[in-house]
Amino acid sequence: MDFFIDFAFFRVRITSDDPLVFKRCERYIAPVSGFDFAACSRPEFEKEVRAREPDFKSDYVEFLCIYRDIAEKIVDYGAFVMHGAAIEYGGKGYIFTGPSGIGKTTRARLFAGAGAEIVNGDKPVLRILGDRVYVCGTPWAGRENLGKPLCVPLCGIFIVSRADGEEPKCEPLTPYDAFGALVNQVYLSSSASGKSKTVALLGKVLDKVGVFALSGAPDERLLAAAKAAMGEV
């Protein structure tokens, strides 16, 4: 079965015989029409996913493999996936990123309580179009499936670290200092050329978007520190 989804200014044809895969993408379903590229599960991806997560159900394995196929292809269109929780706040997009379990979604929820929309809770896409970088929702939104089919201009990236009990800090980083942390949070292609393209795209993003080191417990003080930084970008 083929169906179409829209995200990150792409239209993609998805091939899957599992109705649960269709259901996981239902917020992004698009009319049948022309498309930018096609995506499907691939045996090499399925082998990797099953080796890493043997208890995953077959529909979720296929869903993740389709994500992998898309992530491999979008780099040719000036886009890549960043591991993080993305929000829209005041018409601008921001991402909280960092290692798994650090509290990215917790901080996105903190802002949601202050009026933000959660764009994606796990795997937003960054796409460069003209002079702007956009952060966009995708169907791959984490275990809690947090997100919406939105694309907003990306205005800040927050690299999250824990410093519970200490005064919250939000400090600007140079592109050089930010690169080392962020390159570990983006999807890097299995091909050498794909890796090279993604690294180049990340460099372009860092030339256009402010990056901050955000530390401290997720409370009102942290919210205030991050808002102050948002006012600078």
Q: Is the backbone of residue 130 left (phi > 0), alpha (psi -120 to 50) or beta?
A: left
Chain-centroid distance of CA 178 in Å reads 17
Instruction: Mark whether 14 and 114 lie in a shared domain.
Output: no
* Residues 23, 119 within the same domain: no
Residue-range definition of the domain harbouring residue 12: 2-77
Do 104 and 170 belong to one domain?
Answer: yes
Beta-bridge partner residues of 96 = 85, 158
Q: Token digits for 97?
A: 């990123």
Residues 162 and 87 reside in one and the same domain = yes
Cβ neighbourhood burial of 226 (10 Å; 0-12, 13-18, 19+): buried
Instruction: Please check whether residues 46 and 122 belong to one and the same domain.
Output: no
Q: Which amino acid is at 88?
A: E
Residues 73 and 83 in one domain: no
Q: Are residues 85 and 161 in the same domain?
A: yes
| Predicted model pTM | 0.94
Please state, in angstroms and rounded to a whole number, the distance separating the CA atoms of residues 80 and 68: 11
Task: For residue 110, give both structure tokens.
Answer: 């903190």
pLDDT in tens, the chain (233 residues): 899 999 999 999 999 989 999 999 999 999 987 999 999 999 999 999 999 989 999 999 999 999 999 999 999 999 999 999 999 999 999 999 999 989 999 999 999 999 999 999 999 999 999 999 999 999 999 888 999 999 999 999 999 998 766 789 999 999 999 999 999 999 999 899 999 999 999 999 999 999 999 999 999 999 999 999 998 65
